[in-house]
Structure 1
Amino acid sequence: MVSPLRRRLRRALLGAGVLVVVVLTVIAGGVAWVWSTADISTVGTTEFTRPLTIPPLAASTVEPDGTRVFTLDIQSGTTAFEPGHEAETWGFNGSYLGPTLRANNGERVRVRVRNQLPEASTVHWHGMHLPATMDGGPHQMVEPGATWTPEWTVAQPASTLWYHPHPHGATEDHVRRGLAGMFLVDDAAAAALRLPSTYGVDDLPVIVQDLRLRGDRLDGAHTAFRDVGFLGNRTLVNGTLAPYQEIGDELVRLRLLNASTARIYTFTFDDARPFALVGTDGGLLERPATLDRVQLSPGERAEIVVRMRPGERTVLRSDRLDAGLDFWANRFAGGDDTFDILELRAAPTLRESPALPAALVPASTPDGSDAVTERRFDLAFSGINGAKMAMDRVDTVVTRGTTEIWAVRNVDGMPHNFHVHDVQFRVLDYAGGAPPPALTGPKDTIFLAPGVTARLALRFDGPADPDTPYMYHCHLLWHEDLGMMGQFVVVEPGQQAGAPPGHAH
């Protein structure tokens, strides 16, 4: 006969077993639900009802000494992304995004940056070659109510650059709220090529971001398993939801900028039409490359030229990501998401465009043949080379006037990219082979799938400043905020690095 104690114990164990099964079933069901609802698609369902907003060219004045002066006010406001819904946003000289700054290679520029926010921020000139004290990284914080006035001489070829905040630990939040804008550099060599170049007509800025609206507010929450950072469920171009653009020319140049904080886009057209890639992050290629898609991770840019036929419509979209991620990482990094982004509407009669030239400009980046050293940078969620960012620590010291090779490797299972301040680099090899066409131009940001190594050639032309560092970091901005960032200084031959100050931001 079984004793009462044993019967009670058996019932307790049976009940506990049932509870465990129920809990596991609930967890499994929850995971299955999260998995099944993780992908997003707006393909085929987007009604393009809003004219594309073209950011205005920033007003400027020219001083007697030839210095071009801009003013940028960092400010808060409200923006109606949808009729009747005003969301709180941030912008430069307005409520969202900022004007397009434009200057010539060789021109002296000065920018008055006035912070009207209730918290400190910065303005980083992404892709610009300039002194470290003018770079706008986390060592150049602008306090509320303060003005920062960087000044430098533009010293690089024609290119599509951009500007955005860079406060240590808060970059994702500041960019997601709307602080971004383009900075275009012009030069005589590019002007002579007769590429589409009428701003806002056949030469269009295309600033692509994702967002999530919750009624009258921007939702910045990170959803389950999204280790890449914030991913939205809708896309904006130049701050416009579901935009269209009227086209009046046979050829149109799109200056694509991925200004999202974590999302990776695979840009293509709905009819898979070919286009000419003519420029990357830091300027024009040596010759156009014919592609039907181009992948851009956060911070990367591409200049493409697409041919239109009279009366037709075509949609720029983002296709699924093919980046070597496993099925779990791809799903929760947004790799299965697809978006219709921008509709181009050709007029019934189009202005004739000059044919694209077969050659563009000579290479402006080093080929690595005179490199004085090769360094290794391992990227992982835990940091770079095993260390998280420290504001008062110099991680790398480079000598002015020298070329180096940096081997950058993704050593964990999630997507990363790598951005270097101040310089444009050449990709020598990628994943053990020759770089694909989209990586053959000058670059300052590069995507790295898990296990992939890219070897980069960089030349450090200075000026030297042993006390003020530049940054290198993952440009998936939540990763940057959590410490995937390091610092380097440029010194004169034989000079030692100084000690950059740490601060509370």
Structure 2
Amino acid sequence: MNKILISITILGTLATISNQALGSINHSSGHSHNTTFNQATLTKEFQKPLLIPPLLKGEIKNGVRTFDLNVTKGQWEFIDGNFTETYGYNGPILGPVLSLKKGEKTKINIKNNLSEETTVHWHGGILSQDVDGVHNADIQPNTQKSVEFILNQPAATLWFHPHPMHKTASQVYKGLAGLIYLEDEQSESLKIPKTYGIDDFPIVIQDKKLTKDGELTYSTTHMEKIHGKSGGYLMINGIISPYIEIPNGLMRLRVVNGSNATNYDIDLNDQEFYQISSDGGLLSKPVSMKKLTLAPGERGEILVDSKKLNNKSYLYINGKEALELRKNKKSGLTQIPETLAEIPEITKNLADLKTRTFTLKTTSKGNTINNTPYNMEKLNFDVQKGIQEIWEIKNGSKMMDMPHPFHVHGAQFRVIERNGKIPPLNEQGWKDTVNLNAGDTVKILITYTTDGITVYHCHILEHEEDGMMGQFKINN
């Protein structure tokens, strides 16, 4: 088998930046924990093209689609002429996009070239304990581990990232993150943009603090453990203030909030666009909107009609120009589909279902769920495989005014209620992460179909590592 070893080339010289510091933090804007970025002293904005990660289709061997992932240290130039150490999959930062098909057996060979242990968690995958990348999943330095799985779930944009105990936050911050494009017959039949890097773009949004010399380091103060590691330099696919060339017609942005702790408000300066997919797959029909808010771990696919944009427009993140959109002469699709996918109606009498309650709370003393910090030696409860339950999730951090994105492993769920009301249309599809602002209560309908022990946690990574996580067993 030919090894697929992708070297991501640094795309020339990055824009000269003297400063791109954070402005104010607004914890209470809508459903968003917003960080405002100041770019007034950025001297050469939008001079670098957006980095488009390699799209890997793997190699079919004995009926199994096989990939090689090399976890490695690299050197990356966030700021002109200043290289700093980063982590990446198959390259110096971030990682490739893995192209998978529903129901197809997949094998991933993971080689850890770091000087510390790591794991790979397949975020959004309906997978059992043995391959989820959390329990007994450590890959020691200079060793290799292979995992095999089948993603038997609807088409979606999933992602993968490290999940080792007490090292998740630092390893993600240093650059480890990649995407999975999972397709099925329904997604392949839709007339929506699908040409990778031409009208279908991966958009991984992150923010990182750099020294004046452009050095990336990770450490946390007491306040950063409470609030999460947030702020500094806003970047998309590892590039600060990039641009992309887009066709004259529809373009598809697969947006991933890959940050440690920052919520992002995404808009096109009051221009309408359509969300077509959430974390776990296509929505039933496109949802018109002018702003999309994503918490850490959440994904959202949007369709933008560039015919309605100026020749030079911008994607705004938290009110600032973050990605320049330059029209080229290529023609694109023009018709927004009326329907996308069939999502089962919720017909069961919900009053008959077991309800569990989870209260996420940040205090000056730390982060807990139901007033209990994570204990890897303790199971918080058991569930029965295949049995629907209602989980009522509460954000009890009123005094701290902190949001909490609640993420479950090994399942996709449906949001059935937000603060006593029907959830917004773009939250009515399949989800694995849901954001709660201070004081919010969200109810989800969830069923586990896998085996073993799995976890749930806040996806502010510093909260997760500080104890805002639990685990339970799925009984057959």
Q: Same fold (TM over 0.5)?
A: yes
Is 1:127 aligned to residue 124 of structure 2?
yes
The residue type equivalent to 1:406 in the other structure is: W
**2:407–2:459 contact (8 Å) kept in structure 1:** yes
Deviation of the 1:405 alpha carbon: 0.6
1:177 aligns with one of 170, 174, 191: 174
Cα 1:366–1:148 shift into 2, 3 Å: farther
Deviation of the 1:59 alpha carbon: 5.2
**Larger proportion of strand:** 2
What SS is found at the alignment partner of 2:227?
coil
Stretches (4+) displaced over 6 A: 34-39
Give the match for residue 73 of structure 1.
Answer: 70
- Whole-angstrom CA distance in 2 between matches of 1:100 and 1:302: 16
Deviation of the 1:437 alpha carbon: 2.3
Give the match for residue 256 of structure 2.
Answer: 257
1:399 aligns with one of 361, 384, 393: 384
Is 1:373 aligned to residue 357 of structure 2?
no
Deviation of the 1:92 alpha carbon: 0.5
Is 1:417 aligned to residue 405 of structure 2?
yes
Give the match for residue 31 of structure 2.
Answer: none
Give the match for residue 48 of structure 1.
Answer: 46
Is 1:339 aligned to residue 309 of structure 2?
no
1:79-94 alignment to 2 at 5 Å?
79-94=76-91
What SS is found at the alignment partner of 2:430?
coil
Deviation of the 1:448 alpha carbon: 0.5
Structure having the higher Rg: 1
Give the match for residue 200 of structure 1.
Answer: 197
The residue type equivalent to 1:398 in the other structure is: V
The residue type equivalent to 1:41 in the other structure is: F
Deviation of the 1:223 alpha carbon: 6.4
The residue type equivalent to 1:491 in the other structure is: N
How many corresponding residue pairs? 434
**1:365–1:425 contact (8 Å) kept in structure 2:** no
Moved more, 143-152 or 87-96: 143-152
Is 1:445 aligned to residue 433 of structure 2?
yes
What SS is found at the alignment partner of 2:115?
coil
Cα 1:40–1:190 shift into 2, 3 Å: closer
The residue type equivalent to 1:374 in the other structure is: T
Deviation of the 1:44 alpha carbon: 7.0
1:211 aligns with one of 208, 212, 216: 208
Deviation of the 1:42 alpha carbon: 3.4
The residue type equivalent to 2:191 in the other structure is: R
**1:365–1:424 contact (8 Å) kept in structure 2:** no
The residue type equivalent to 2:361 in the other structure is: A
Moved more, 306-315 or 248-257: 306-315
1:486 aligns with one of 445, 470, 473: 470
Is 1:355 aligned to residue 335 of structure 2?
yes
**2:305–2:334 contact (8 Å) kept in structure 1:** no
**2:205–2:259 contact (8 Å) kept in structure 1:** yes
Cα 1:194–1:405 shift into 2, 3 Å: same
- Whole-angstrom CA distance in 1 between matches of 2:279 and 2:75: 31
- 1:271-327: per-residue Cα shift (whole Å, max 9, x none)? 3101001000000000111000011010000000001128612211123xxxxxxxx
- Whole-angstrom CA distance in 1 between matches of 2:459 and 2:348: 24
- Whole-angstrom CA distance in 1 between matches of 2:100 and 2:38: 37
- 1:196-253: per-residue Cα shift (whole Å, max 9, x none)? 1111111100000101221141143446844321112211111111100001240000
Give the match for residue 9 of structure 2.
Answer: none
Is 1:433 aligned to residue 442 of structure 2?
no
Give the match for residue 244 of structure 1.
Answer: 243
**1:48–1:243 contact (8 Å) kept in structure 2:** yes
**1:366–1:426 contact (8 Å) kept in structure 2:** no
- Whole-angstrom CA distance in 1 between matches of 2:344 and 2:136: 29
- TM normalised by structure 1 equals 0.82
What SS is found at the alignment partner of 2:422?
coil
Deviation of the 1:79 alpha carbon: 0.7
The residue type equivalent to 2:421 in the other structure is: G
Moved more, 91-100 or 372-381: 372-381
Give the match for residue 302 of structure 1.
Answer: 300
- Whole-angstrom CA distance in 1 between matches of 2:248 and 2:199: 6
Give the match for residue 168 of structure 1.
Answer: 165
Is 1:388 aligned to residue 373 of structure 2?
yes
Moved more, 349-358 or 96-105: 349-358
The residue type equivalent to 1:342 in the other structure is: L
The residue type equivalent to 1:363 in the other structure is: I
- 1:369-414: per-residue Cα shift (whole Å, max 9, x none)? 4664111111112311111111121112111111111000001132
- Whole-angstrom CA distance in 1 between matches of 2:333 and 2:113: 44
Gaps of 5+ in 2: 1-20, 26-34
Deviation of the 1:139 alpha carbon: 3.1
**1:365–1:442 contact (8 Å) kept in structure 2:** no
- Whole-angstrom CA distance in 2 between matches of 1:383 and 1:365: 34
The residue type equivalent to 1:277 in the other structure is: Q
Give the match for residue 143 of structure 1.
Answer: 140
